[in-house]
Structure 1
Amino acid sequence: MHQEEPMNEHYSDEEDMNRILAGLQDIDYQGMKVIVTGGSGFLGSWMCETLLGKGADVICLDNYASGRPENTDHLLDHPGFTRIIHDISEPFDPECPVDLVCHLASRAGPLEFEHYPIQILKSNTLGTMHALGIAKKYNARFLFTSTSEIYGEAEVFPTPETYRGNVNTLGIRGCYDEAKRAGEAYCMAYHRQHKLDVRIVRIFNTYGPRMRSDGLYGRVIPRFLDQARKNLPITIFGDGSQTRSFCYVTDQVTGLLKLAGYDGINGAVVNIGNPLEMSVLSLAKKIIEITDSKSEISYHPLPPDDPSRRFPDISKAAKVLKWEPRVDLEYGLRAMIEAS
């Protein structure tokens, strides 16, 4: 896997955006009209900005349940950008032709599963149905951002798209896992019954600038970085031996828009993530080292159904999309520190 050269002394969004655009030279979005649900979220805002950079007009929908307006405030003066406050679990009609619908709207922080299960279920079931309805009405292509969570406590590693999952429907994570699985089923139903052009991406852990560390969001990298820079205890659930893989945002957005943009892959389901597995404890130690922190490790009980291992088989993405991650973890962590 190619690794990037060390980042420049000072991070800028522009450098990361140029990296994404360079990876999309063979994809044409010029003149397209695109809806991005959850468009002011972490990933959604990068998607909106990239699509504008590729010449598309973008309608950003977000109710700010987990997205933040400041993520897209800098796009408001762009003539091709429209931002609308809307909850996609309620019907929406853009009342204009649309070429592509990217459905990213959903709370996704692990600590949110306990507090907002109904909203999570609605955005990924009713929300997916409404977003698919827009695509059907205007004969638009549809991209659904699913998740590695649909694999649950996987038993095959690295985990391929053919693995059907091992999920506890009644568990605390069931609101997210099962809603995303239902969302995939909705996509394939519209594909089979209405001949809709759909693409499903199963996203593995992604990180980068604009990612929240506050409240119940609970994503591990921004939480660890925030704690380390404040010299607070690094909170690890369990003994830290559980593993994850971490994909930098520029790699993730490049993969998403390759999947959305290529012709001839209607109905495709593709893992997008970094295949390099590491333990959560190793991540914590790496962040303490990079930040020169005085933080110590603080161990807490492991939440129910927390998967013990998770990392993707990306051979399908490499073959179909000619995609692989290019940014290593140290670059990404330092970029997040510089950007904050």
Structure 2
Amino acid sequence: MPNYKSAYKRILVSGGAGFIGSHLIDRLLEQGHEVLCADNLFTGSKRNLDHLHDNPRFEFMRHDVTFPLYVEIDEIYNLACPASPVHYQHDPVQTTKTSVSGAINMLGLAKRMKCRIFQASTSEVYGDPTMHPQKEDYWGNVNPIGTRSCYDEGKRCAETLFFDYHRQHGLDIKVARIFNTYGTRMHPADGRVVSNFIVQALKGDPITIYGEGQQTRSFCYVDDLVEGFIRLMATGTDITGPMNLGNPVEFSIRELADHVLDLTNSSSKLVFEPLPDDDPQQRKPDISFAKDALDWEPQVQLREGLVKTIGYFDHLLRQNYAL
């Protein structure tokens, strides 16, 4: 039996009741760690954690990261922040506070505990990019006063804080920039394109496409993303990031709609609405850094991941869950 202190950790996952956070917690528990989940349940759901209630190595704490947290842990994953436009624009001031004050509080905890800390950043730091695909050394094209800036600039400031704590205090940091991710446990009403299309198709409602559907996204299945998290967190102190994690295979929004219609055998019609403000026209990560440093690249193809995600939402619908 390996020594507990050397082999296993007590790990804090802030935002752990969310879609991505709950999958990360599953993986960490599978590896034998103890996990403390801190979440204020603004967008996360206890439903995502129901299967863990009897796990003696899992603990849930209702907590808002804009307030300091004093716990004993060995490692931190900071995932706390609403990530879909519908949710982060609902209370934009709180969104910025969650990214900025939340980062300060989690970094302060990591400094006190002298432990490694992971920041879930986003491809939105690139804004509406003029570089395609996006590499980590691209500084971005972000509107600092637009309706999306609470999220975009909040995450950019969080990255600033992480690297300043690294330079000033020698903190051991890892920063990942997440590109569009989908999969089971997505919130049915989160407003993101994959969940929107699937729910609309399953209910037979019109599928809403903004613009002409020619804007592109790169869709990464959640299991692949979590694998990237785990591998980045396990690297040496010479690798801090920021590191792009996402699927480099690019699809237009119209192509995504066609895949969903085909896989759900839905009779839903397409309807077209004006593009939202500052909606990026292209999203595609350059993942050369992750390939070289982590030997990582996504394994789940879009249609395979969509089948799993459609099955999840279909199950919710059959349970009369309010989609």
Q: Shorter-chain TM-score: what band?
A: over 0.9
- TM-score, with length taken from structure 2: 0.94
Check if 1:321 corresponds to 2:298: no
- 1:74 Cα shift? 1.2
Q: Provide structure 1 residue ranges, at least 5 long, that are not aligned to the other structure.
A: 1-27
* One-letter amino acid matched to 1:82: E
Q: In the alignment, what sits opposite 2:276?
A: 303
* One-letter amino acid matched to 2:200: Q
Residues 124 and 179, structure 1, Cα contact 8 Å, conserved in 2: yes
* One-letter amino acid matched to 2:256: L
Q: Deviations over 1:192-223 (max 9, x none)?
A: 11100001000000000000122xx2011011
Q: Deviations over 1:17-69 (max 9, x none)?
A: xxxxxxxxxxx994111100001000000111110110111110001000000
Work out the percentage of aligned pairs sharing the same amino acid.
Answer: 44
- 1:114 Cα shift? 2.9
**Secondary structure in structure 1 of the residue aligned to 2:156:** helix
* One-letter amino acid matched to 1:178: E
Structure 1 residues 116-125 or 314-323, which shifts more? Answer: 116-125
Q: In the alignment, what sits opposite 1:80?
A: 57
Check if 1:119 corresponds to 2:112: no
Which of residues 164, 173, 187 in structure 2 aligns to 1:198? 173
The 1-side partners of 2:47 and 2:169 are apart by: 37
Q: In the alignment, what sits opposite 2:319?
A: none
Residues 271 and 312, structure 1, Cα contact 8 Å, conserved in 2: yes
Residues 199 and 265, structure 1, Cα contact 8 Å, conserved in 2: no
Structure 1 residues 255-264 or 157-166, which shifts more? Answer: 255-264
Q: In the alignment, what sits opposite 1:278?
A: 251
- TM-score, with length taken from structure 1: 0.89
Q: In the alignment, what sits opposite 1:263?
A: 236
Hey, which bits of structure 1, 4+ residues long, moved more than 4 A?
A: none
Residues 37 and 62, structure 1, Cα contact 8 Å, conserved in 2: yes
Q: Deviations over 1:117-146 (max 9, x none)?
A: 012101100001101111100011010000
Which of residues 8, 15, 25 in structure 2 aligns to 1:48? 25
* One-letter amino acid matched to 1:64: L
Check if 1:145 corresponds to 2:120: yes
Residues 41 and 68, structure 1, Cα contact 8 Å, conserved in 2: yes
Structure 1 residues 307-316 or 70-79, which shifts more? Answer: 70-79
The 1-side partners of 2:98 and 2:218 are apart by: 26
Which of residues 267, 270, 285 in structure 2 aligns to 1:294? 267
Q: In the alignment, what sits opposite 2:40?
A: 63
The 2-side partners of 1:140 and 1:73 are apart by: 29
The 2-side partners of 1:238 and 1:328 are apart by: 26
**Larger RCO (alpha carbons 8 Å, 6+ apart):** 1
What root-mean-square deviation, in Å, do the aligned CA atoms of Structure 1 and Structure 2 show?
1.2
The 2-side partners of 1:54 and 1:225 are apart by: 32
The 2-side partners of 1:29 and 1:171 are apart by: 47
The 2-side partners of 1:246 and 1:29 are apart by: 36
Residues 245 and 274, structure 1, Cα contact 8 Å, conserved in 2: yes
Check if 1:213 corresponds to 2:188: yes
| Number of equivalent positions | 309
* One-letter amino acid matched to 1:252: L
Check if 1:168 corresponds to 2:143: yes
Check if 1:331 corresponds to 2:304: yes
The 1-side partners of 2:300 and 2:26 are apart by: 19
Structure 1 residues 194-203 or 260-269, which shifts more? Answer: 260-269
**Secondary structure in structure 1 of the residue aligned to 2:38:** strand
Q: Provide structure 2 residue ranges, at least 5 long, that are not aligned to the other structure.
A: 314-323
The 2-side partners of 1:53 and 1:29 are apart by: 17
* One-letter amino acid matched to 1:177: D
Residues 43 and 87, structure 2, Cα contact 8 Å, conserved in 1: no
